[in-house]
Amino acid sequence: MSLARTISLGLLICFCFAACDDSVGTVEVFLIKSPLVAEDPLDMSLVSHLRIRVSGANMNPVEQTFDFQPGSSSKLPPIPAGDRRIITVEGLAGADGYVISRGRSLPFTVNEGNQEIDLFIGRVGRFSIAPGYGLTQARFGHVALLTKGGDLLVAGGAAGGTMISPLDLLTSIERYDPTSGNTSFFDCGPSSGGMCLQSARAFAAAARVTGGISIYGGRDDYGLLGTVDFIDLQGQTSTQSELLSAARSHAAVFSLNETRVIAGGIDQTGGPTAMAEIVRANGSVVQLAMPAPRQGLAGAAAANIGLLYGGLDPAGQPSSAFITFDPNKNTFDIHSSESEARAFVDAVTLSDGRVILIGGQNEAGTASASVDLFDPIRMLLCPIGSLNQARWHGASIRLPDGRVMVMGGLLSNDPPEPTPSVEILDPRFVKLGATCAQTSGALTITATQSMRIRRYLLSAELLPNGMVAVVGGIDQHGAAIKQIEIFIPE
């Protein structure tokens, strides 16, 4: 297989994989740098070599490193046709140097004939604005979930107002393709037959289900919703059903295998609710009450049980208690903890089934820097450290290596002051003992480059290509954000 490339000063690079026989097609890989990105991911003063790697099912990985010079060429062994081929391109500082930039495709099929793959490349450990300015509609309080195919689906939300009084609620859906960096917008006008929400809604709960995505409750321009919109991704349609026992917004949601739990939130009185729905794989719904009403709950799956932490009680005070859900018994139980009482906490399930709890709003109504760890085996929740930057209404995700990335959020609320700061937490070596006093190991926290835009009420997802997409939110001027930022972990 031959490899030839042309260079246009970092704006476009084309790799041509030419077939060695008729059974293998030709694949052109275009490395795309957004005109909005200030840093050139292929700055030739930094990048001296490119490394290209092709892997996939039923094939041995193929890798080649070559000089990054205009007009040069290199050869790769034949790459067999087949499914789930992945191309990774890295810009290196020297043939054996560290990685400066990286792009990775989603899995694709190599067939006979010509094929093109667009591959967004960015600086490792740096934020870049996605090509095409990201979303078509600026929004916050939206839903953002990965589809089974690896695209990022963004639905609903508000285009104006505040987090207390959102305005211009949206029915529109957008689909972000992390391979090309392009966004498809599904128009939801009066004559549209496309894939749109049946009800405009913000601050809804959502979960990926068989065949699509279900969006639960939320609020529209007139009040709270008790309906559920199901988005059929294959048929690109949506349908609506009555499922929630009571209209509400800001509910917590998590999945345990094929069981989904929608719990708590804000009810019609403006206060917290104790209602919860348990939705089984066969579609049956069981309505239960939690031991205490809560809004601003954090929810996550913890091994084979569910965890609900903190939140505001009917008096508007944050709680330090945590609630567990046993899917085998269909029961909730409440437990005390030694953690700081707070609401609007980020909850992230770790690869070993434990859950890390990050930041939030404390009893003083200010941002918290607290970090806690929940161990479902010991049924213990303990403080393990503090963020460098206190925050709430941010976003946190687990990276492929097990670390946790924390982004944005509010530093204060009067007036709202969002932060662009990003921190990487490493909880992998922290172990809880029989009591919190017997905790061993240290939580490592590292500050990394900040986002380009200050934002809160954002969403973040780890994409199948290993990159992190940060979507929407509200900026420091109180405006909804449409830019998607892409981060490539080191």
Instruction: Enumerate domains of the chain plus CATH numbers.
Output: 2-123 (2.60.40), 127-487 (2.120.10.80)
Q: Are 295 and 266 in contact (CB under 8 A)?
A: yes
Which stretch of 74-78, 146-150, 305-309 has the lowest confidence by average pLDDT? 74-78
- What percent of the chain shows pLDDT beyond 90? 57
Please report the pLDDT score of residue 71 as a whole number: 62
Nearest-5° Cα angle at 465, 115 to 170: 95
Average pLDDT for the chain: 87
Query: What residues does 194 pair with on adjacent strands?
Result: none
Residue 326, pLDDT above cutoff 70 = yes
Please report the pLDDT score of residue 30 as a whole number: 81
Residue 472, pLDDT above cutoff 90 = yes
Name residues whose C-beta falls within 8 Å of residue 399's C-beta, 6 or more positions apart in sequence: 405, 424, 462, 468, 489
What value does the mean pLDDT take over residues 400-406? 95
This prediction has a pTM of 0.87
Please state, in angstroms and rounded to a whole number, the distance separating the CA atoms of residues 231 and 217: 14
- What percent of the chain shows pLDDT beyond 70? 90
Which stretch of 11-15, 108-112, 350-354, 399-403 has the lowest confidence by average pLDDT? 11-15
Name residues whose C-beta falls within 8 Å of residue 115's C-beta, 6 or more positions apart in sequence: 25, 26, 27, 28, 108
pLDDT band of 25, cuts 50, 70, 90 = low
pLDDT band of 6, cuts 50, 70, 90 = very low
pLDDT band of 265, cuts 50, 70, 90 = very high
Q: Are 476 and 418 in contact (CB under 8 A)?
A: yes
Instruction: Label the pairing between strands 182-186 and 205-209.
Output: unpaired
Name residues whose C-beta falls within 8 Å of residue 236's C-beta, 6 or more positions apart in sequence: 186, 194, 195
Residue 20, pLDDT above cutoff 60 = no
Please report the pLDDT score of residue 193 as a whole number: 53
Please report the pLDDT score of residue 76 as a whole number: 64
Rounded-to-10 torsion of CA 135, 243, 226, 211: 10
Query: What residues does 349 pair with on adjacent strands?
Result: 355
pLDDT band of 35, cuts 50, 70, 90 = low
Could you tell me if residue 156 is left (phi over 0), alpha (psi between -120 and 50 degrees) or otherwise beta? left
What value does the mean pLDDT take over residues 53-76? 79
Place of tokens 């992390």: 178
Closest-CA residue to 263 (of 321, 216, 224, 220) = 216
Residue 233, pLDDT above cutoff 50 = yes
Please report the pLDDT score of residue 307 as a whole number: 97
Please report the pLDDT score of residue 241 as a whole number: 87
Name residues whose C-beta falls within 8 Å of residue 292's C-beta, 6 or more positions apart in sequence: 274, 313, 319, 321, 323, 334
| Structure tokens belonging to residue 304 | 């084979």
Nearest-5° Cα angle at 56, 50 to 61: 50
Q: Convert the pLDDT of each residue in 367-398 to its tens digit.
A: 999 999 999 999 999 999 999 999 999 999 99
Please report the pLDDT score of residue 72 as a whole number: 61
Q: Most confidently modeled of 174-178, 191-195, 401-405?
A: 401-405
Query: What residues does 231 pair with on adjacent strands?
Result: 213, 238
One-letter amino acid at 106 equals L
pLDDT band of 5, cuts 50, 70, 90 = very low
Residue 481, pLDDT above cutoff 90 = yes
Please report the pLDDT score of residue 10 as a whole number: 34
pLDDT band of 77, cuts 50, 70, 90 = low
Closest-CA residue to 166 (of 240, 247, 222) = 222
The Cβ of residue 184 has, within 10 Å, a number of other Cβ atoms equal to: 12
Q: Convert the pLDDT of each residue in 332-341 to its tens digit.
A: 999 999 999 9
Closest-CA residue to 321 (of 294, 300, 344, 303) = 294
Q: Convert the pLDDT of each residue in 432-471 to its tens digit.
A: 999 999 999 999 999 888 999 999 999 999 998 888 999 9
Residue 215, pLDDT above cutoff 90 = yes
| Structure tokens belonging to residue 17 | 């994989």
pLDDT band of 14, cuts 50, 70, 90 = very low
